[in-house]
Amino acid sequence: MEKMNIRSLLYLFVSLISCIATASSNSGLSSHYYDRICPEALPTIKRVVEDALAQEQRMGASLLRLHFHDCFVNGCDGSILLDQTPTIDSEKNAAPNANSARGFEVIDKIKDEVDKVCGRPVVSCADILAVAARDSVVALGGPSWKVRLGRRDSTTASQSAANANIPAPSMNLPALIKNFEDQGLDEEDLVVLSGAHTLGFAQCRNFRDRIYNETNIDPAFVSHLQTICPQVGGDSRLAPLDPTPNSFDVKYFSSLASKKGLLSSDQALLDGGETAELVLKYSGDAEEFWEDFAESMIKMGDIKPLTGNRGLSSSYYDRVCPEALPTIKRVVEDALAQERRMGASLLRLHFHDCFVNGCDGSILLDQTPTIDSEKNAAPNANSARGFEVIDKIKDEVDKVCGCPVVSCADILAVAARDSVVALGGPSWKVRLGRRDSTTASQSAANANIPTPSMNLPALIKNFEDQGLDEEDLVVLSGAHTLGFAQCRNFRDRIYNETNIDPAFASHLQTICPQVGGDSRLAPLDPTPNSFDVKYFSSLASKKGLLSSDQALLDGGETAELVLKYSGDAEEFWEDFAESMIKMGDIKPLTGNRGEIRNNCRKVNSEY
């Protein structure tokens, strides 16, 4: 008995140490990242930045703004720098950046110089943006901080995400708070980072409505600005964001206190208790502002960097909790034994999670005053299901592991694989080690999850935004070999489209009337509970249930893949496994980013 007690205590101790080690692991970003790889990298960036500011001091604000606008669009990944091409929908053309974002030539110059001193391209463009922002602040009299480095560069850009996620100059305080919360930033970060507007200028188009229509503004300040910005025309004329636009000081905050904020979104900071208190505090305490600005810049720089997914491994839980994966498999199999359709539902949850700011478990978060749940987004509302199964898995896994070490995001990924296997499909090694998001974004879910009405160009673009190609599009669409769709999602197809088998359309019209019956179900292929290739053969016969499925036959490469898979299950299985691994690698949170939730429906601070 005594030996058993000692063993039990040792087991609990090891489990506790595993929990602590898992929770405190490193994200891969380090301020020393280039110290050995290329020690001249950071001095070179500093030199080029200082040269640029010697020619034009305003460039400092422009470089700082580039880093902001990069980080707020799917993380600090350099995506803002990508030019428009047939496959890149450049963020430069988004409303917050078009004819406004600048400094790209300076970044190009830095990149050229750094690659020369390093002897090869080892410093990412994303890291250059982060360091150039810091060096700009320092050059204009502001604080310094240790920039955490090691980011990699995105291979995609998203104009739609830029339009949705970069805060607009017309935003009110609740919208600003929500916008920053979506990035994992709090109200203090909002005020502190808004203080970057101690540098730079804004265009007339961005403050015209404020100076002609708003009342919370100093009358003399209004009169002066109206000489710069007429009611009609002069959209690109500039006014300074504070009285000293080339000096990093606290005059931005004292301007707000005097109702002389240039932008509506700046003046809005005085509309709330905590934010107003911070504005007034910083207006009289430069040292406090400097310290907090440095901390918030480090925090913003940690927004979903790409780090090569070095933290993901199929053996991640082998030592931490070897019973984790067998437990997930058991609960999934039990759920499918009760209802085979649940397999498709669990697979869909993983898809819809990964397509919204990466595979981070955000789809599982319930609505709260601080969480704008993705469950309420159009693609998920009254449709996404299987949440109770995920809850059951989480409970069982935490029991066998002795503490919460397995993330909800990893549970989604493994449950998707185990569902496919249980319904007769292929297996693959799921890369693990994701952490859970502390935010959700209903707007991003509405923007990024592909809709059943999308045509082929829209589908290709949607997948490209996630770093997935046309083969991935066809292969992952093959997940529709499982499951059902609601009448509301195929009604237009069966009554209005012509690329559909007439008998198939007639049969579906008995299920889905022109009016009513929105939630009635039809199978996505003839065998909705078996992982096979009948989905593809159905498309070849013009019997695709959804417009977005049948659209795969509208393109050369995608049509060829549909026809190939319709006759080659082995090839489909192999490619499906590869594409699922690729999708599972979309911007996971690793290291100290995010958290391991105690309850998949709630962030830990609200548990």
Binding-site residues for substrate, in ranges, read: 450
Show the tokens assigned to 266.
Answer: 């700046």
Amino acid identity, position 196: A
Burial class from Cβ neighbours inside 10 Å (0-12, 13-18, 19+) for residue 371 reads: buried
In the three-class reduction of DSSP (H, G, I as helix; E, B as strand; rest coil), residue 184 is classed as coil
Contacts of 409 (CB under 8 A, 6+ apart): 353, 359, 360, 361, 434, 435, 436, 437, 588, 589
What's the first-to-final CA gap in the chain, in angstroms?
37
d(CA 302, CA 184): 10
Question: Which DSSP string do the residues of 279-309 spell out, in sequence order?
Answer: HHHHHT-HHHHHHHHHHHHHHHHTSS-B-TT
Residue with tokens 């502001």: 142
67 belongs to the catalytic site: no
Contacts of 403 (CB under 8 A, 6+ apart): 15, 16, 18, 19
Residue with tokens 């929770």: 23
Phi/psi zone of residue 358: left (φ > 0), alpha (ψ -120 to 50 degrees), beta? left
Task: Name beta bridge partners: 436.
Answer: 595
d(CA 343, CA 460): 26
In the three-class reduction of DSSP (H, G, I as helix; E, B as strand; rest coil), residue 602 is classed as strand
Q: What is the DSSP letter of 467?
A: T
Contacts of 227 (CB under 8 A, 6+ apart): none
Phi/psi zone of residue 591: left (φ > 0), alpha (ψ -120 to 50 degrees), beta? left
d(CA 284, CA 262): 20
Please state, in angstroms and as integers, the Cα–Cα distance from residue 506 to each residue in 17, 424, 498, 510, following that order: 62, 30, 13, 7
In the three-class reduction of DSSP (H, G, I as helix; E, B as strand; rest coil), residue 119 is classed as coil
Answer for the pair 156, 466: CB distance below 8 angstroms, yes or no.
yes
d(CA 24, CA 593): 10
Out of 69, 197, 352, 507, pick the active-site residue: 352
Answer for the pair 365, 424: CB distance below 8 angstroms, yes or no.
no
Residues annotated within a binding site for heme b? 480
Answer for the pair 434, 410: CB distance below 8 angstroms, yes or no.
yes
Residue with tokens 């548990």: 607
CB atoms inside a 10 Å sphere around CB 570? 10
Answer for the pair 514, 491: CB distance below 8 angstroms, yes or no.
yes
Residues annotated within a binding site for Ca(2+)? 353, 356, 358, 360, 362, 374, 481, 525, 527, 532
d(CA 363, CA 356): 8
Q: What is the DSSP letter of 331?
A: H
Residues of 520-545 as b/e, b for ≥16 C-beta within 10 angstroms? Answer: bebbbbebbbebbbbbbbbbeebbbb
Residues annotated within a binding site? 353, 356, 358, 360, 362, 374, 450, 480-481, 525, 527, 532
d(CA 207, CA 217): 12
d(CA 531, CA 164): 36
Catalytic residue numbers? 352
